[in-house]
Chain A
Amino acid sequence: MIQPVNISMDVLNLTTLAPMLVAVVGALFILVIDLFKSNLDKSLYVMISILFLFVDLIAVYESSLTFMQNGTVIGLFDVMQIDGLAIVSQFIIVIASMLFIPLAMTSKRFHEYSYPEYFALFLFMIAGFQFMVATDNLILIFVGLETASLSLYTMIAMHNRAKSFEAAVKYFTMGALAAGFYSFGAMVFYAITGSVEINQIAAVLDANSYKNLGYVFVAVAFLLASFAFKLSLVPFHTWAPDVYEGSSAALAGYMSIVPKIAAFIVTMRLFEFLVHSDIVWLKAILYAFVIITMTISNLWALVQSDVKRMLAYSSISHAGFAMAAVLIGTTEANTALLLYWVMFTFTNLGSFSMLWISRQKNLLPGQSSDHSYEKFAGMIKTAPIPAVIMGLFMLTLAGVPPFALFWGKLYMINAAVISGYTFLAFIMAINSAIAGYYYLKLIVYMFMKEPVDSRYEKVYTKNLSLTLKTVIGFAAVGTIFAVFAINPLLNLIGGFVYNSGF
């Protein structure tokens, strides 16, 4: 005779689910609207998405208040875990999404935005990422990851160009492989510890002092590979440039930020205890990943002839830079990662939006790719303000002070310095110098060369609309005046990270 299950609502603590539920409800709401009246304009869906994201943000804010009072909140059969990391990363995810979705309101029509499903998928994806960061249960992480990824693949394909299909299929195949790796790694952990919760796994492994080291190695290898796919760490990065090239610039910018922060949070949770476990080879592997990713992708970026591909490689390099925080594993490093990513959000949002406003419907004769360097030659003469803004974002990405990303770099290198990673600190510095070259290359084209083809002049601001201007202006202001935001951000993020034990 099975006993009836008795669960009080208090134990379930459904408020932990509130932020994700808002996003899911928003997505369903959009689908319902479409059911009653189709052929509505994209601006409606954009605004509805923003509204729901705003409510989502408030829900996250509420949970942050709870966290500050009561510490980490556990809910839904102990599956949800709302700690500082979850809150900060949800803030980043939701705010970045709110900034990216208005990019749909271009002055030209694009195929994907005529489907309300696009926006529904967008909100589902955000819910997926939020689940991913707000749990330490390997199964729920997987569910969140797959929800988000499947939505993202579809959104890429909806751009409706040959290259987009290629990108979507490539991303899908690679993502499926990564999912396989993930589930295999998680399974091995479950086999040796009898748990799918990261803190339980850590506790069991600590208790038996890593006696199944061989199995741990297998599990770590598979999990690391799967997250290396998601974070596009070299040598698992091969999909990234093609996928970025195939998707719309707006979505590519989004992909360089939001999925990665979600993956970083999971990696941080997973490797926090592993890095501190004195297993030498683990640090060695991470060290190699970090240095190879930073350096090799920088070298590849040097030889790109397309700005979007260059930015793709640069995002890989930035991911490697941030991955250093996982290797270092101190509170300062984790704070640095989040600070870095906030800064990177604004900068990359700006630079990809600048590409987005110059998106052409059709390539001109003789033009090899959408955003070749030649396209931007002599831009200062014909479109001075966009050129200056684009130059600003490039300088910021290169880490020229006092703009946003410099502070992220500063704090990250500092985290390496105070943890005794001197060599790493120098490698980071040298890589920043190498990266300077390819960002400068675009500036050289824009400011110092003569225009190649007068037909490009019409293209630079072809997609510009008031909404896009607002987004770009927001990003530019954020990048320039970042210096005044660093202190409150450091205190805030540092407090959240420290109080959740990372």
Chain B
Amino acid sequence: MLENILTILIFFPLIAGILGFAIDKNSFRAYGIAVSLVEFVLSLLLWFYYDPNIAGMQFVETLPLIPTFGINYFVGVDGISMFIIILAAFFTLIGIASLPKTPNEKNMIITLLFLQMTMVGVFAALDAIVFYIFWEFSLVPMIYIIGAWGGPLRIYASIKFFLYTFAGSLIMLVGMLFMAYFYYQTTGVWSFSIEDWYNLVLPKSYQIWLFLAFFIGFAIKVPMFPFHTWLPYAHGQAPTIGSVILAAILLKMGTYAFVRFSLPLFPDASVFFMVPIATISIIMIVYTAMVAYAQEDIKQVVAYSSISHMGVIILGTFALNVEGISGSIFLMIGHGVVSGALFLLVGVIYERRHTKLMSEFGGLAHVMPRYAAIFGIFLMASVGLPLTINFIGEFLSLLGFYKQSHILTLVAGTAIIVGAIYMLSAFKKAFFGNVTKEENKNLPDVNKTELVALIPLVAITIWLGVYPKPVLDPINKSVTRLVKFMHEKSRTPDGKIRIQDPLKVKTKKVCSDCASCKEGE
């Protein structure tokens, strides 16, 4: 069973979803929870049997799909992708478990199960076409969630979301075809396997064009400035569960794809574009932080802060060293947990008041103390308070980029402080002061269903903030391999300087002044 665990993880939700059509709609929530619980346990099993000493791909499966054209069903995980898969399984579980009463609950849960299949598929795929299939197909359940259960502008939001991402990924598809063609020209064999592509060394000019083609697809998904305009609409109109999944998992597809495709395939182009992309990321951090400050709707504040933190992830990724990339992957997980939780919290208050305007609240800490406490914890985590999960990721990302550029890092670091300002001011407006509105006086505090979702998230936030080693170690291992590979692959002198060989650096720097390393090696 372990040999096929990834296939089971990918297709179990699909089959469960299809069988689900036959189940009575009043008993459906139990079914959904059961299925996603099984999926989550399976994903934990994946972690349990994952060998942390191997940096490369594990649980690899191959099955010829279109062998004439080099397309294979090829999946596997390494430290980079495994935790995001677990996160996807986890968020589907708590998303279904904490689902408030919705019309057509059955359709919603089936859609979520389909969505889960695509999410796991994207992060497990090692064949570009299989990756593309899941990547594109994830749009379909998502537009349905936004379009069928969303707010008043839901149709506009879902179409905008679909068209933006669809257009971007088609450009990416052309890039993939070019990549496969170059591979074919060099080796005489068609292949869409990413592992095969890694071995292909392209001249810098080709790398730049292909990098751009992939970049458009990924950047829209992340979303990076100036392609971010679809996201506030999608978040604003989506139901709580839609926002949670979107922020926690779907956006990570873009940042993950940068690590999986752009960096190892085009190391020289990555160096070439490092400063422009870092600049865009910083604009993203600063600009969206300022926009967030001006919002009156608390969900929009969370949405813009989410974009802002995605900027830090990109910055870390393009630090092109082990600290930065590991940090950015860790931050992907952290950001998933924290922004997912924040959207859940916004959903909690929306359920009670059916408004998201901050001016409608005020003094909520008096009526809903537990809610305020949990919100406070995630707010602190969101601004990167030490000992919370985001701190580690943000710190490592910035540390990584500090090695490339001091000034840009300084600007980015300052910008993150702006993040603290708007989050705290939002918190103040909603929670402190006197209870101004009559409707808020008798709001019930968080109930059991909601606690079931929120308590584990709090636990993860603090656990991984205090002791990130079990997650960070496998990530580090795989990233070290990746960076080493990029160092060897890069051909330009600039590339060799910017992408340092991680193993060399370690022996020179760390082992001279670190006692534990001396003992270990």
- A residues near B (Cβ < 8 Å) are 380, 395, 398, 400-402, 406-407, 410-411, 413-414, 417-418, 422, 425-426, 429-430, 432-433, 436-437, 440, 443-444, 447-449, 483, 486-487, 490-491, 494
B177 contacts A448, C-beta separation under 8 Å: no
For the complex formed, measure the closest distance between the CB of A297 and the CB atoms of chain B, giving whole angstroms: 18
B166 contacts A436, C-beta separation under 8 Å: yes
Which one of A401, A429, A430, A487 contacts B68 once the chains associate, using CB atoms below 8 Å?
A: A487
Q: A413-B174, A444-B155 are in contact. Are A401 and B66 (CB under 8 A)?
A: no
For the complex formed, measure the closest distance between the CB of A203 and the CB atoms of chain B, giving whole angstroms: 33
A429 contacts B170, C-beta separation under 8 Å: yes
For the complex formed, measure the closest distance between the CB of B257 and the CB atoms of chain A, giving whole angstroms: 16
Indicate whether B201 reaches chain A with its CB closer than 8 angstroms.
no
- CA A494 – CA B67 in complex, angstroms? 14
For A483, what are the chain B residues with a Cβ–Cβ distance below 8 Å? Answer: 65-66
For B198, what are the chain A residues with a Cβ–Cβ distance below 8 Å? Answer: none
Q: A448-B147, A448-B154, A448-B155 are in contact. Are A417 and B174 (CB under 8 A)?
A: yes
- CA A404 – CA B152 in complex, angstroms? 34
B170 contacts A432, C-beta separation under 8 Å: yes
A437 contacts B137, C-beta separation under 8 Å: no
A440 contacts B69, C-beta separation under 8 Å: no
For the complex formed, measure the closest distance between the CB of B105 and the CB atoms of chain A, giving whole angstroms: 15
Indicate whether B167 reaches chain A with its CB closer than 8 angstroms.
yes
Interface-forming stretch among B74-82, B157-165, B226-234, B284-292?
B157-165
Give 10 A-B pairs besides A413-B173, A418-B181, A440-B163 with Cβ atoms closer than 8 angstroms: A400-B139, A417-B181, A433-B166, A437-B163, A440-B143, A440-B162, A444-B147, A447-B148, A448-B144, A483-B65
Q: A401-B136, A444-B155 are in contact. Are A413 and B162 (CB under 8 A)?
A: no
B487-517 interface with A by 8 A CB criterion:
none
B159 contacts A437, C-beta separation under 8 Å: yes
B111-142 interface with A by 8 A CB criterion:
129, 132-133, 136-137, 139-140
**Contacts between the two chains (Cβ within 8 Å), count:** 91
- CA A413 – CA B171 in complex, angstroms? 11
- CA A436 – CA B139 in complex, angstroms? 12
Indicate whether B178 reaches chain A with its CB closer than 8 angstroms.
yes
For A407, what are the chain B residues with a Cβ–Cβ distance below 8 Å? Answer: 66
For A395, what are the chain B residues with a Cβ–Cβ distance below 8 Å? Answer: 140
Could you mark each residue 355-383 of chain B with 1 if its beta carbon is under 8 Å from any beta carbon of chain A, else 0? Answer: 00000000000000000000000000000
For the complex formed, measure the closest distance between the CB of B422 and the CB atoms of chain A, giving whole angstroms: 33
B171 contacts A426, C-beta separation under 8 Å: yes
- CA A436 – CA B168 in complex, angstroms? 12
Q: A436-B162, A437-B159 are in contact. Are A402 and B133 (CB under 8 A)?
A: yes
Main secondary structure of the interface of B (DSSP, over half): helix
For this complex, 23 residue pairs linking A to B, each with C-beta atoms less than 8 Å apart, are A402-B133, A406-B133, A407-B66, A413-B177, A417-B174, A417-B178, A425-B174, A426-B174, A430-B170, A437-B163, A440-B143, A440-B163, A444-B158, A448-B154, A448-B158, A483-B65, A486-B66, A487-B65, A487-B66, A487-B69, A490-B66, A490-B69, A494-B68
For A402, what are the chain B residues with a Cβ–Cβ distance below 8 Å? Answer: 133, 137
The closest CB in chain B to the CB of A385 belongs to B21
For A413, what are the chain B residues with a Cβ–Cβ distance below 8 Å? Answer: 173-174, 177
For B148, what are the chain A residues with a Cβ–Cβ distance below 8 Å? Answer: 380, 447-448
For A380, what are the chain B residues with a Cβ–Cβ distance below 8 Å? Answer: 148
For B140, what are the chain A residues with a Cβ–Cβ distance below 8 Å? Answer: 395, 400
- B residues near A (Cβ < 8 Å) are 64-69, 129, 132-133, 136-137, 139-140, 143-144, 147-148, 154-155, 158-159, 162-163, 166-167, 170-171, 173-174, 177-178, 180-181, 184
B167 contacts A414, C-beta separation under 8 Å: no
For A411, what are the chain B residues with a Cβ–Cβ distance below 8 Å? Answer: 69
- CA A380 – CA B69 in complex, angstroms? 38
For B167, what are the chain A residues with a Cβ–Cβ distance below 8 Å? Answer: 430, 433, 436
- CA A440 – CA B162 in complex, angstroms? 9
A401 contacts B133, C-beta separation under 8 Å: yes
For A410, what are the chain B residues with a Cβ–Cβ distance below 8 Å? Answer: 129, 173, 177
A440 contacts B159, C-beta separation under 8 Å: yes
Q: A410-B177, A444-B155, A447-B147 are in contact. Are A487 and B67 (CB under 8 A)?
A: yes
For the complex formed, measure the closest distance between the CB of A284 and the CB atoms of chain B, giving whole angstroms: 23
For A425, what are the chain B residues with a Cβ–Cβ distance below 8 Å? Answer: 174, 177
For B180, what are the chain A residues with a Cβ–Cβ distance below 8 Å? Answer: 414
Q: A395-B140, A400-B139, A401-B137 are in contact. Are A429 and B66 (CB under 8 A)?
A: no
For B69, what are the chain A residues with a Cβ–Cβ distance below 8 Å? Answer: 411, 414, 486-487, 490
A429 contacts B136, C-beta separation under 8 Å: no
For B66, what are the chain A residues with a Cβ–Cβ distance below 8 Å? Answer: 407, 483, 486-487, 490
B159 contacts A444, C-beta separation under 8 Å: yes
A447 contacts B174, C-beta separation under 8 Å: no
The closest CB in chain A to the CB of B213 belongs to A426
For the complex formed, measure the closest distance between the CB of B60 and the CB atoms of chain A, giving whole angstroms: 21
- CA A436 – CA B170 in complex, angstroms? 11
For the complex formed, measure the closest distance between the CB of A433 and the CB atoms of chain B, giving whole angstroms: 4
For the complex formed, measure the closest distance between the CB of A450 and the CB atoms of chain B, giving whole angstroms: 11
For the complex formed, measure the closest distance between the CB of B413 and the CB atoms of chain A, giving whole angstroms: 38
- CA A406 – CA B155 in complex, angstroms? 25
For B158, what are the chain A residues with a Cβ–Cβ distance below 8 Å? Answer: 444, 448
For the complex formed, measure the closest distance between the CB of B103 and the CB atoms of chain A, giving whole angstroms: 10
Which of the listed residues A429, A432, A487, A491 has the most CB atoms from chain B within 10 Å of its own CB?
A429
- CA A474 – CA B362 in complex, angstroms? 59
For A437, what are the chain B residues with a Cβ–Cβ distance below 8 Å? Answer: 159, 163
For the complex formed, measure the closest distance between the CB of B446 and the CB atoms of chain A, giving whole angstroms: 31
Which one of B137, B155, B171 contacts A429 once the chains associate, using CB atoms below 8 Å?
A: B171
A400 contacts B136, C-beta separation under 8 Å: yes
For the complex formed, measure the closest distance between the CB of B356 and the CB atoms of chain A, giving whole angstroms: 21
For A430, what are the chain B residues with a Cβ–Cβ distance below 8 Å? Answer: 167, 170-171
For B65, what are the chain A residues with a Cβ–Cβ distance below 8 Å? Answer: 483, 486-487
- CA A483 – CA B137 in complex, angstroms? 14
For the complex formed, measure the closest distance between the CB of B239 and the CB atoms of chain A, giving whole angstroms: 13
A433 contacts B170, C-beta separation under 8 Å: yes
B178 contacts A490, C-beta separation under 8 Å: no
The closest CB in chain A to the CB of B147 belongs to A448
The closest CB in chain A to the CB of B162 belongs to A440
The closest CB in chain B to the CB of A407 belongs to B66
- CA A305 – CA B132 in complex, angstroms? 32
For the complex formed, measure the closest distance between the CB of A418 and the CB atoms of chain B, giving whole angstroms: 5
- In order of increasing CB-CB distance, the 3 nearest A-B pairs are A433-B167, A429-B170, A448-B147
The closest CB in chain B to the CB of A441 belongs to B159
- CA A259 – CA B375 in complex, angstroms? 64
Which of the listed residues B162, B181, B184 has the most CB atoms from chain A within 10 Å of its own CB?
B162
The closest CB in chain B to the CB of A487 belongs to B66
- CA A398 – CA B140 in complex, angstroms? 12
For B144, what are the chain A residues with a Cβ–Cβ distance below 8 Å? Answer: 447-448
For the complex formed, measure the closest distance between the CB of A476 and the CB atoms of chain B, giving whole angstroms: 14
- CA A71 – CA B155 in complex, angstroms? 56
For B143, what are the chain A residues with a Cβ–Cβ distance below 8 Å? Answer: 440, 443
- CA A487 – CA B71 in complex, angstroms? 10
- CA A436 – CA B167 in complex, angstroms? 9
- CA A418 – CA B132 in complex, angstroms? 20
B147 contacts A436, C-beta separation under 8 Å: no
For B177, what are the chain A residues with a Cβ–Cβ distance below 8 Å? Answer: 410, 413-414, 417, 425
